[in-house]
Amino acid sequence: MFLCRELNISVCVFHFMHMHGESAVSMLVLVLVAGLLFATLASSCLIPSKNAGKEKQDVETLSATIEGHVLNATSYAPIANATIVIKPGNFTTVSDINGSFSFVVPGDENYTINASCEGYFPNEETVFCAQNKTVHVDLLLFAVGTSFENGTIYGYVFDGMINRPIPHALVSIVPEDLSVVTNELGYYTLSVRGSTYYTLTANASGYYNASSFVFLEPNGTQNVSFYMTPLSSTISYIYGYVYDAINTTRIVGADIYIEPGNINTTTDLNGYYNITVTGNMDYTMTVRADEYQATTKTIHVNATESLRVDVPLMPVVSQNAKIEGYVYDLVHNTVIPGAQISAIPGNLTAVTNQSGYYIIEVFPGVNYTIKCIAEGYLENYTYVVLKPDETKRIDFYLSTVYNYGRVFGTVYDITTHSPLPSALVLIEPDGISAYTNTSGMYEFLLRMDVNYRLSASCENYTPSALTFVLNQSEMELNIFLYPKIYNQTVNITGTVRDYAGNPVSNAEVVLRSTNNQLLLVNFTDASGKFLFRDLPVLLNYTISISKEGYDQITLTVYSSNFTDDPYIIPQNLTKLKAIQNESFEYIPLVYTAILIVVIVVAFITAYFVMRRNL
């Protein structure tokens, strides 16, 4: 039909020209020229340039700077006139008298920097250069003929406060990029090449890092030991008084010894002492004084704790007295093994054997309270004063009040399932507590058929709790703690631009977990920016960015990159590429239609003009 219309118009034009001659021809030619000019202008206005945006992008050059030094690998002296080549791009320069060099290169690229010089082995490094950033690279060259026979670096890592070896400390060495962990005695050894300067760094939890700079001869040995300073958050104190257990007078000049650490001090004129130690550790304290019996006790000191430990000492006397006897179940008249007998004042104790028998030495002439306790029984006590060399029999009959059961378990790290030693486990409402052993285990003996709340806490972990009723003789309850890092969050932000560098507003930004679970949806603002707030810091994320007229992009953000908050996604990862509009293929048909309309209008106009002239 379209073709028929074109033929009819052609016939009309021919007839018009035949009837009106040259004036009509001239008029039609002018109109046709005007129509063609109009169509050409319309075409140039409507058809977009394929290079639009690219030209604008070429104007903005994205650049970065690479700078550094070329140095002698053994003496660290600068090397002048070394040739430095950067690829890709084959950028070349020569180091100056200070061994320095500098390049300006396109940004957002990986580059390999190669340095070479006569008399030296070449060396190269690979770096990533972000746009508008400066990257510093020092290249170390070994002189030809350098001996690289291996040597040994060894030593110990100690707690600088108590001289205790630190096991499992990490000792690293550069430029070899090696590391080793100290053994249970705090010892380490490293085998590395000689003729080289090394920097060693020791790192241990709860301590400030320590470093040492050494030169290792070929086939040589170096002893490098570290004495690490505890963090202020781990320093603790033990303090208290030493006194006479009988008359409570304070003892001047008592010697106090603390292990590990070989720490010692002496009580002052008031019988007082104060010792600084590293927290979160078990210590053995031994106290001695002239004319008194020495005593030893084991204590646990938490981090940043000031722990008061008062120590009673029993005088040494020439004559002793004794108390002995048996402990029985009042109802069944059976012996009770494991019952504890205490003589107060003083630190005098005894425990009944399998026959329920005990014997305890005391001092004559002292008013004693003799107390007897046993698990599952009410305590009992009596008073006594003994003569020199007297032996007195005292039997105890205890009555039961509760049935007891055993609760035990392990405290674990929920992420690694590793047991947590030194975790504090608390039982409410009894208010009793215990620390887990080196295997993360705890144990309590509790009353049956009672509602309990069990809670666990540990340094750098989020506390956890559970409730239970002890309705069996043994119950295992394991507790899992989250590291506190799981409570930390991060903000993720970025700016979406097109390839010309212009911000893209109202682009849809979708946040998913790496297993494709939808988490959040956001839209860019007028400046192309988007922001996701308070995201868990230990998770990886997938971000999809899309907008009509642009290709969609998808990128993965890894938790290992969350060193800053907010985490800013690099601009080269958030550029949208415009989609070429295929509808432009039909524009020539539109132009043809416009041209035909113009011709028809021109023909009609010319027709009426000629009629008026006639």
Instruction: Identify any residues that bridge with 418 across adjacent strands, giving them in sequence order.
Output: none
Of 202, 410, 226, 231, the residue nearest 303 (C-alpha) = 231
Q: Which CATH superfamily is domain 232-313 in?
A: Immunoglobulins (2.60.40.10)
The pLDDT tens digits of the residues spanning 367-392 come to: 888 999 998 888 888 888 888 888 99
What integer is the mean pLDDT of 304-326?
85
- Exposed/middle/buried for residue 145 (C-beta within 10 Å: 0-12, 13-18, 19+): exposed
Question: Does the domain made of 321-398 have the CATH classification 2.60.40.1120?
Answer: yes
CA dist 86 and 66 (Å) reads: 9
Rounded CA separation 223/156 (Å):
9
Bigger pLDDT: 534 vs 158: 158
Give the separation between CA 234 and CA 158, rounded to whole angstroms. 15
Residue for token digits 């722990």?
307
pLDDT digits (tens, 9 = 90+) for 348-360: 889 999 999 999 9
Q: Which residues are registered as beta bridge partners of 556?
A: 542
Instruction: Identify the weakest region by mean pLDDT among 200-209, 244-253, 338-347, 559-568.
Output: 559-568
Which letter does DSSP use for residue 533 in this model? E
- Whether domain 404-486 has CATH 2.60.40.1120: the reply is yes
Name the nearest CA neighbour of 65 among 144, 147, 136. Answer: 136
Q: 41: alpha, beta or left, given left = phi > 0 and alpha = psi -120 to 50?
A: alpha
Which token pair is 487? 């409570």
Q: Which of 39-43, 149-153, 181-185 has the lowest mean pLDDT?
A: 39-43
97: Cβ contacts below 8 Å, ≥ 6 apart: 78, 80
Q: Residues of CATH 2.60.40.1120 domain(s) within the chain?
A: 150-228, 321-398, 404-486
Does domain 63-141 match CATH 3.40.50.1980?
A: no
Superfamily of domain 488-576: Immunoglobulins (2.60.40.10)
Mean residue pLDDT across the chain:
82
Angle at 565 between CA 563 and CA 567, to 5 degrees: 75
Q: Which of the listed CATH numbers 3.90.245.10, 2.60.40.1120, 1.10.10.10, 1.20.1630.10 matches domain 150-228?
A: 2.60.40.1120
Q: In the chain, where does the domain assigned CATH 2.60.40.10 lie? A: 63-141, 232-313, 488-576
Q: Which residues on neighbouring strands pair with residue 568, listed in sequence order?
A: 493
